[in-house]
Structure 1
Amino acid sequence: MGKRTVKRRIFVSNALMVFVTLALFLLISVFVLKIYSESIETELKASVEAGIDADGWDDWIEEWTIHRDEFLLLFLAEGMLGIAVLVVVSQFFTRNLVRHIMEPLDALSAGAERIRNHDLTQDISYEGEREFEDVCANFNEMRASLLEAQEKNRKYEKARTDMIAGISHDLRTPLTAIRGTIKGLLDGVAATPERQKKFLETAYRRTGEMNVLLNRLFYISKLETGNMPLHMQTIEIADFIRNYVRGKRETLENEPVELTADIRAAGAVSADAEELWRIFDNLLENSRKYGGAVPLKVKIVLDKTQEGFRICFSDNGAGVPEEKLPFIFDEFYRGDESRNHRDGNGLGLYIVRYLMEAMGGSVRAENADGLAVYLELKEIARPGGQQSRIDSNESGADGRK
């Protein structure tokens, strides 16, 4: 049997109300007519048995006229009684119908009141007509969505608060160093030109650290406000990786970092070359900052998949605790929350995920003798004769034209 509906309940209620009223009215009419007919029949039989003369017929007709008037009055009273019965019956069925309708409405009103009072923990419990069940189910889904959004906003605001504290820490360190350097110069601590140059180089390096952090925050702001459009183009992914490794080796000459590439496939992808370069930079920086291995060995492996290409960016560092691994791409998340061992602002890997998804790809991470980050991009058919922006013969040292 199908689920009860409001339309069906209203139809059945009205039909029962009319049927019961008419049935009662019919029973009353039959009962009154029976009593009245028996009374007339008794009087008529008595008159016939007694013999009626002409004057008697006149008297009988006069009595019948009186009985007719009484019948009309009785019929009128019967009609009034029927109307009264109709009103009483309609009130009964109307109250029953209103009760069934108001029950879910009261539940919805109570639920809305709870939401107004910021209580998003209780569902509406109702079983009855299908339409009201659907409305209550939609209301419960809305409440769950609001609760999820509220919890997400709470975590987001906590992350922002932690980030502000982290940024304050990140900025305070170079600012203190710069201030100390300038104070030393003013106090004449650096008396020789060589020492003065060393002080100034330290201050300049610290300003570079501050500039990197501020640029990253500005970049995040542009991403979230939609002011960072992607310029998608056809890229030969193998050449791109070769150029990246070649360019970065020059900047890593004086650091204990070994960057290598293992190219096992070739083909074209659709991506923003500059932003893809930024993704690689963020992954390299993450390995340098959190890897902890000396020497740090970073390897980029390009493989073919069924739908495109998989780029594995791995290092030989300490990896990430398994319980924290699912959250490393969240905004403002830092694996080392104490900040006493390593500094970080939780933006680098968030940018990686944001850009990969914006370019139609995906990213995931796992521990494999260190941290391994997998980037997946779909392969596209390269138009014949078209040269990609990133090309081994036409790119600069850093892989960008």
Structure 2
Amino acid sequence: MMIKKRLAISNIIMLVVPAILIVVIAGGLLEAFTEKYGKKIRIINEGTGTYKVQKALDSYIKNKDVDNEKIEESLKNAGYNLLITDNGATVFSNLTYDDKDAISKINEDILSSSDSMVLEVNAISLIKNSILNDGKRINIIAIKANKFMSKQQFKSDMRAFFISYISVVLIIALIIITLTNGILSSRVAKSLIEPLDLLSYGAGQIEEGNLEFKINYDGKDEFSKVCADFDKMRMRLKESIDMKLKYEEDRKELVAGISHDLRTPLTTIKGYAKGLKDGVANTPEKCERYHEIIYSKACDMDMLVDKLFLFSKLDTGKFPFIFEKVNCNDFFLSFLNTVVNEFKVKGLDCSYENNCEDNVYFNIDCEEMHRVLANILENSVKYKGKDVGNAKIKIDKKEDELVIIVQDDGPGVIEENLSRLFKGFFREDASRSNPSEGSGLGLSIAEYIVKAHKGTIRAENNNGLTIIITLPIYNE
């Protein structure tokens, strides 16, 4: 999952989960808190029931039925107790201690001021009715001592209830939010730290020079591309270092090859020059032969130096190619007319087959492409293995490419050496015992030139050595 999406989901969860948990827990707490105050709330909501009691007493007064037990029974359901007096003397009373305590707090004048009254104060509910019976005043008083709190106290307690309830809810909400955010943040942080640790490990390995490790990150987020790019960078760095090491090795071989190929003709020149100096060549014929050998070896050295100079310019990419649009048939006919007799003298018969149409063109440097083909034929001459060898140049068109095939009937090359043919100073004769037969630079120079023409060159064995070159066809 992408980090952006993961963070969005995490933020939503951080809001939704705590909200749901807080609502559920707050509901449970409210139930617990209201259970404590439920009775008080129900008492205050239910009231004292004075209207019903007063109505019951009125019915007894009108009927002049002062039956203590009957009145007591009817008042019992309403929670009232009964006091009956006859001319001030108590006839019946089932008052409790709380009733007596509550009634004692009422002014005596208030109780005697009227025959009928309803009195309701914080601590007591009192209903009084009086009748005259045979000249006697009978007072029937229903009393209920209220044990519930006053409204002021109720408000105070409710205020305390809400403060304590809200405080507990806030604390729990804070804990839930902290835990939720902590858990989600740790998970998101872990998903970020893991790839960062991998990248840090990789950087440390590179710093220590180890490029053989591999970063394995299975996540499907932005870091997967970063880790993949980091691993590609490691591989390219490794390839670069391997290439540098190979280049250094090739450079050492190149220096060794140059030293060897220059030392051999130099040794010959020095030997024959010393023979002339010491008078070993004591006849005109010997002197002339010594001079010819010295000149021939000097020419070989000059040719080698020219090839080295060309090779170095090609290797540095500073060689000035002059490309031009050339007709394929015209170029190869011109090349064959130029070299066919030269190579025939060297013991190589050249043939030509062109399967392209007359309107095929390619963009080349004619002189350097001439050098490529000449170097390939020179290689066939050196390794023809018999007095007269044969080489065939075949031209084909394949889609947008021109395919040039140069095939000889020589002994070919050992398979394991095919890939090394285009390496500078490579010769199958590992002892380099006959440097006059070549410097080993011809095919290497040919490869540089072909690649500069955006083409390819390769070698294979096919009843001799076959060199295959592909070049792009010119399109308007």
Q: Same fold (TM over 0.5)?
A: yes
Give structure 2 stretches of 5+ with no counterpart.
49-78, 81-118, 124-147
2:290 corresponds, among 195, 199, 220, to 199
Q: Which amino acid aligns with 1:347?
A: L
Secondary structure in structure 1 of the residue aligned to 2:289: helix
Distance in 2 (CA, whole Å) between partners of 1:24 and 1:140 is 45
CA contact (8 A) 2:456 2:471 kept: yes
CA displacement 1:68-110 (0-9 Å, x = unmatched): 0342244134213312321222111101111111111211221
Q: Which residue of 2 aligns with 1:149?
A: 240
Deviation at 1:215, TM superposition (A): 1.9
Structure 2: distance between partners of 1:58 and 1:189: 146
Distance 2:175 2:337 in 1: 99
Aligned match for 1:260, one of 350, 355, 358: 350
Per the TM alignment, residue 373 of structure 1 is displaced from its structure 2 partner at its CA by: 1.5
Secondary structure (helix, strand or coil) at the match of 2:25 reads: helix
Distance 1:263 1:323, change over 3 A: same
Tell me: CA distance 1:62–1:119, structure 2 relative to 1, closer, same or farther (3 Å): same
Which residue is 1:166 aligned to?
Answer: 257
Whether contact under 8 Å (1:6, 1:129) holds in the other structure is no
Residue in structure 2 matched with residue 126 of structure 1 by the alignment: 217
| Distance in 2 separating the partners of 1:316 and 1:114 | 53
| Alpha-carbon contact 2:257-2:425 (below 8 Å) kept | no
Matching residue of 2:40 = 43
Corresponding residue SS for 1:262: strand
- 2:406 counterpart of 1:339: no
Matches of residues 26-175 of structure 1 in structure 2 within 5 Å? Answer: 26-46=23-43, 48=47, 53-56=120-123, 59-175=150-266
5 Å-filtered alignment, 1:355-366, equals: 355-366=449-460
Within the candidate set 412, 425, 438, 1:319 is matched to 412
SS across alignment from 1:349: helix
Compute the displacement of 1:250 (Å). 5.5
Change (3 A) 1:119 1:189: same
Q: Report the AA paired with residue 235 of structure 2.
A: A
- Could you tell me which residue of structure 2 aligns to residue 227 of structure 1? 318
1:368 aligns with 2:462: yes
Cα deviation, 1:51-73, whole Å, max 9, x if unaligned, reads 99434498331242143034224
Q: Among 4, 14, 29, which residue is 1:7 paired with?
A: 4
2:443 maps to 1:353: no
RMSD, matched Cα:
3.0
Q: Report the count of equivalent residues.
A: 376
Shift of 1:319: 0.5
Q: For 2:416, what is the secondary structure of its paired residue? A: coil
Q: Distance in 2 between matches of 1:379 and 1:147?
A: 36
SS at match of 2:378: helix
Q: Specify the code of the residue in structure 2 equivalent to 1:148.
A: E
Q: Matched residues in 1 for 2:42 and 2:330: separation?
A: 123
**1:214 lines up with 2:281 in the alignment:** no
Deviation at 1:359, TM superposition (A): 2.2
Greater per-residue strand proportion = 2
Shift of the 316–322 alpha-carbon distance from structure 1 to 2, 3 Å rule, reads same
What CA distance in whole angstroms lies between the structure 1 residues aligned with 2:212 and 2:161? 70
The answer to whether 1:295 aligns with 2:392 is: no
Distance 1:126 1:377 in 2: 43
Q: Do the aligned residues in 2 keep the contact of 1:259 with 1:299 (CA within 8 Å)?
A: yes
Report what 1:385 is aligned to.
Answer: none
The answer to whether the 8 Å contact 1:319/1:369 transfers is: yes
Alignment CA distance shift 1:253-1:61 (3 Å): closer
Give the 3 Å change call, closer, same or farther, for CA 376–84 of structure 1 in structure 2.
closer
Secondary structure in 1 aligned to 2:415? coil
Once residues 354 and 215 of structure 2 are traced to their aligned partners in structure 1, the CA distance between those partners, rounded to angstroms, is 57
Residues 58/247 of structure 1: CA separation in 2 closer, same or farther (3 Å cut): closer
Tell me, in whole angstroms, the C-alpha distance in 2 between the residues paired with 1:8 and 1:368.
61
**Deviation (angstroms), 1:15:** 1.8
Q: Partner letter of residue 368 of structure 1?
A: N
| Pair 168,70 (structure 1): closer, same or farther in 2 beyond 3 Å | same
Distance 1:381 1:108 in 2: 47
What is the one-letter code of the residue matched to 1:332? G
Q: 1:339 to 1:239 in 2, by over 3 A?
A: farther
The one-letter code of the counterpart of 1:67 is M
Contact persistence 1:328–1:335 (CA under 8 A): yes
Report the TM-score when normalising by structure 1. 0.82
1:274 matches 2:271: no
Q: Report what 1:399 is aligned to.
A: none
Pairwise CA distance, 1:320: 0.9
SS of alignment partner, residue 180 of structure 1 = helix
Unaligned runs of 5+ in 1: 383-401
Whole-angstrom CA distance in 2 between matches of 1:319 and 1:220: 25
1:351 counterpart letter in structure 2: I
CA 1:263–1:25 in structure 2 vs 1: closer, same or farther (change >3 Å)? Answer: closer
More RCO (CA 8 Å, sep 6+): 1
SS for the counterpart of 1:173 is helix
